[in-house]
Amino acid sequence: MTKPHVFIVAAEKSGDELGAGLVRALRQQTKNQIQLSAIGGSALAREGLISPVDISSLSILGFVEALKSYPVIMQRVAQATEVIMASGADAVVLIDSWGFMMRVARRLKKQGFNGQIIKYVAPQVWAMREGRSKVLADGVDHLLTIHDFDAPYFTRHGLNTIYVGNPVFDQAYDTGDGPGLRRQYNIGIDTPVLVMLFGSRLSEIQRLAEPFSDAVGRLKKALPELVVISPVSDTISEDVLAAAAQEKSLQDVILLEENRKLDCFAAAHAAIACSGTVTSQLASAGVPTVVGYKLNTATYLVAKRLFKPDYMSMVNIANDQLLMPEFIQNDCNGKNLADTVLPYLTDKNKRNTASQALISATKKMRRGNACGEAGNSSTRAAQAVLGILG
């Protein structure tokens, strides 16, 4: 019997990690009786799947940035499609990254791809651009979604939609070694520690470097003993170092490898973070967090008109309250960030109250994760893919 062949495509860091989890689950469930190929990054490479296409230029956010990068995007779409078509795969799993993946899906269909086209992670049509639900239904054969409320948006257009659970809740975030990290860097047990998360895209780092640096400078004046730490992935380490070279206050930040993230969470009194998946992780760990975000001005004006929720962080959206203070665009400045995070660093009662509220909120969200079970979203995704293949 011929082994099923699944081709996984991930264009950004979060999708790359999601793909790696899917690979492990597929191998486990088939007892390695499966052929796997991938286009992706370092996480998939660690699973032995080396990408034949360079995805480093595809971490793009916003239509202005996409227009500037359009020639490169289309070149990568053509390369990806050519590799997938030549592979003879029975199914292709396109993870997140709406614009890039839909172009790949359309091109595959146009070229007569015989396998199943599976989209993993739905566009957030509940937040904006609901019309994308029909576009997706026309472009792919199946959808694996991470939110239990996604399905009706897509099934009404005839798209087979399978809820597999949110991978954010697959991990326990309260297992880091905070005391060990403090000992390693000679940080006193009572010394205030701030963890700073810059984001995973170059554009995010470039736009947030100045307000984050200004916030650090202001906090250092108020708390001279403050220690700032930042876990940084290998994909953005050079960009963060370049930002630090330009912003003096960032030069005192202790940069650590991303695999120390949970240690950073455990050691920190509070966080300043770029909006994204990491805010849900910080909330799960009970780290009081102030969220900042900036977009290209034109992209922001469009998003402001289209975006439906009152908040941008998933924890705030899911609980319909501002559990994590948010500062967007011009409001994302050093003064607002510093003034808001300072009480978490100096007032133990305020810090503990915020921490417990976040833990309680994410426990509620975790219970809503598929079947109320943590740690299984990749398993369920693998089961769905294998079920689609019959």
pLDDT value at residue 374: 43
Look up residue 182 and give its two tokens. 């403090």
- Overall size of the chain counted in residues: 390
% of the chain exceeding 70 in pLDDT:
88
Q: Select the more confidently predicted residue: 102 or 129.
A: 102
Q: Select the more confidently predicted residue: 128 or 339.
A: 339
What digits encode the pLDDT tens for the residues 299-353? 666 666 666 668 888 899 888 899 999 999 899 999 999 999 999 999 999 999 9
The CA distance from 129 to 336, in Å, is 30
pLDDT value at residue 234: 67
Residue 229: closest CA among 269, 281, 199: 269
% of the chain exceeding 90 in pLDDT:
63
Average predicted confidence (pLDDT) for the chain: 88
Mean pLDDT of 33-46: 95
Q: Can you say how many angstroms the Cα of residue 174 is from the centroid of all Cα atoms in its chain? A: 19
Given a cut of 60, is residue 373 above it in pLDDT?
no
Given a cut of 90, is residue 245 above it in pLDDT?
no
Residue 334: closest CA among 388, 275, 294: 294
pLDDT value at residue 63: 46
Given a cut of 80, is residue 64 above it in pLDDT?
no
What digits encode the pLDDT tens for the residues 155-198? 999 999 999 998 888 888 888 999 999 999 999 999 999 999 98
Given a cut of 70, is residue 236 above it in pLDDT?
no
- Tally Cβ neighbours within 10 Å of residue 58: 22
pLDDT value at residue 206: 79
Burial of 304 from C-beta contacts in 10 A (0-12 / 13-18 / 19+): exposed
pLDDT value at residue 306: 62
pLDDT value at residue 62: 46
The residues with which 92 forms a beta bridge, in sequence order, are 7, 117
Q: Which domains are seen in the chain, by residue range?
A: 5-166+372-389 (3.40.50.2000), 178-367 (3.40.50.2000)
